[in-house]
Chain A
Amino acid sequence: MTVSAEHPVARDRVTASEAVRDYTLPESETRALALRVASLRDETGLLHGDASALHHETREIDLKKRTTGKARNSVRQLLHELAVERGMAWADIADLVGVSVAAVRKWRTDGGATPDNRDRLARLAAFLDGLEDCGVADAAQWAEIALPLPAGYTITPLDVYRHGGEQELLDFACGHGTAETAADSAIPGWRQERASDFEVYDAADGHRALRMLRR
């Protein structure tokens, strides 16, 4: 109800709070207000996008700087950092660098990785340091545990890293993004291509086993 000046008797019966509650903006004013808020929302969205892009840019500079520092170490030192200090699997190190496990094992003895491969090892080590900066206590462990995605999907941070989703993983680890955004960024078709009807469970014999997913 809108209070009208033409009906003083009626106005006397309305309390002050009811008057406030019943007050309705003219249509033109509500529209203007909605447009202003929509505009503010758009601006905030653009600002958020700009801030995210700037954050990724600055973080990339930081990662490159860290990588350069790490690459001063020998290949054997880098492998020691990743495998012994961090606890990564040789198979994962090899996979992320893009070589065979046999090649990595050979590097352990002769240190003979190419400069590009040494940089890839250094980059991986720098990325794990970056995860720690986001508050991840055990970066190697975190990277091999499946992301919190809907049931039926098994994608680990290592999968996302392998497909180039470093920044989005760091966003997720820092609480600036979701696991789904990280997966989307690196593996766009994961919802169709990675869907599974199986789940892993601990069988009575003490080993892991598979069964159909109960949806």
Chain B
Amino acid sequence: MSELDAPDDPDALYQARGDVPISLPIMQGDVYAGITVPGLADELTTVAIVMHPCSMRAGASLRPKITVAAVTRYQRLRDAEWRTGHVNVMPLPGLRQTADWYAIDFREVAAVPNGVLPPRSRIAACSQQGILLLQQRYAFHLTRLVVPLANLNEVSQPVFTESELLTDWVDAALDVAADGADATVAEAERAFHAYLDEDDRRRRKRLQQPHLHADLRRECRREIAARYPSAVG
């Protein structure tokens, strides 16, 4: 088989570990600890979102159920082992910033109500590279087909850009917030999606055209600065 990819540096798999900023939107590869998942485990367990980002939302809203997979302790892997075997899992070295390895087990999957995944139970958020590696392994697990990361990246660009701009928006809102953080995040997310949908969803349509993303980022970041002028970032 063609080889799967492996990270040059395990730390590059993560955008955040431990204290994950609440401004990061829910995303494929997010890991939640202390979760009750009927049908997957009887006691509190750790899970990761495996649902594709495009399928997680209906417009601005999360779908009622999100697909997750169990995260369990796993053996350490050498680079070659990562590339040619262990195709039923996505290894997560350093997940808890210890020497232990964990892995997302694609054979242990369940759909859970989105309320089961509270933001403060999130212990890790994958980087873009981590998400692409997860997608590649999950696709291979399901189909025995190796899809190059560059192609997966092309397909995921709209989601990555949307996620990054949403994070900017929420960060700025939190910087100037007088209300509680949860209410601020919810309101900022609503305002961001309303902004994308203005003018017959003009900006949301541009998300699907990556060659326009630089211009969309400029426009959106200017809007953020206008709405939250005293924000730090």
Stretch from A42-50, A112-120, A194-202 forming part of the interface with B: A194-202
Closest to A195 in B: B148
Partner of B127, one of A101, A108, A196: A101
Q: Is B158 an interface residue (CB 8 A)?
A: yes
User: Would you call the interface of chain B mostly helix, strand, loop, or mixed?
Assistant: helix
Given contacts A144-B210, A154-B151, A102 and B15 within 8 Å (CB-CB)? yes
Cβ of A87 and Cβ of B213 under 8 Å apart?
yes
Asked if A206 is at the interface of the complex by the 8 Å CB criterion, the answer is yes
Q: How far is the CA of A207 from the CA of B52 in the complex (A)?
A: 12
A168–B128 alpha-carbon span in the complex (Å): 27
* Complex contacts, A145 vs chain B, CB 8 Å: 210-211
Docked-complex contact B128 and A85, CB < 8 angstroms = no
The contact size tier of chain A is 20 to 34
In the complex, A141→B221 CA distance in Å? Answer: 15
A11 CB to nearest B CB, Å: 69
A22 at the interface (CB under 8 A from B): no
In the complex, whether A105 has a CB less than 8 A from a CB of chain B is yes
Give the distance to chain A from B161, nearest Cβ to Cβ, in Å: 7
- Quick check: is B233 within 8 A (CB to CB) of the other chain? yes
Docked pose: A210 CA to B132 CA in angstroms: 14
Q: Are A141 and B214 in contact (CB under 8 A)?
A: yes
Question: Contacts A100-B12, A109-B233: A141 and B127 contacting too (C-beta < 8 A)?
Answer: no
Of B158, B210, B215, the most chain A CB neighbours within 10 A belong to: B210
**B154 part of interface (Cβ distance < 8 Å):** yes
Bound CA–CA A88/B157 (angstroms):
13
Interchain CB contact under 8 A, B215 and A138 = yes
**B164 at interface by CB-CB < 8 Å:** yes
Does B54 lie within 8 Å of A207, measured CB to CB?
A: yes
A162 within 8 A of B: no
Interface residue from A89, A194, A199, A206 paired with B217 (Cβ < 8 Å): A89
Contacts A210-B151, A210-B155 given; does A140 touch B208 at CB 8 Å:
no
Compute how far the CA of A84 lies from the CA of B220 in the bound complex, rounded to whole angstroms: 9
Enumerate chain B residues within 8 angstroms of A87, measured Cβ to Cβ. Answer: 213-218, 221
Interface residues of B (CB under 8 A from A): 11-12, 15-16, 54, 127-128, 147-148, 150-155, 157-158, 160-161, 164, 168, 171, 208, 210-218, 221-222, 225, 232-233
Can you list 30 contacts pairing A with B, beta carbon distance less than 8 Å?
A: A83-B221, A84-B222, A85-B218, A86-B214, A87-B215, A87-B221, A88-B214, A89-B160, A89-B164, A89-B213, A90-B164, A90-B168, A91-B164, A100-B12, A100-B15, A102-B16, A138-B215, A141-B211, A141-B212, A145-B210, A146-B154, A154-B150, A154-B151, A154-B153, A198-B147, A198-B151, A202-B208, A208-B154, A208-B155, A210-B152
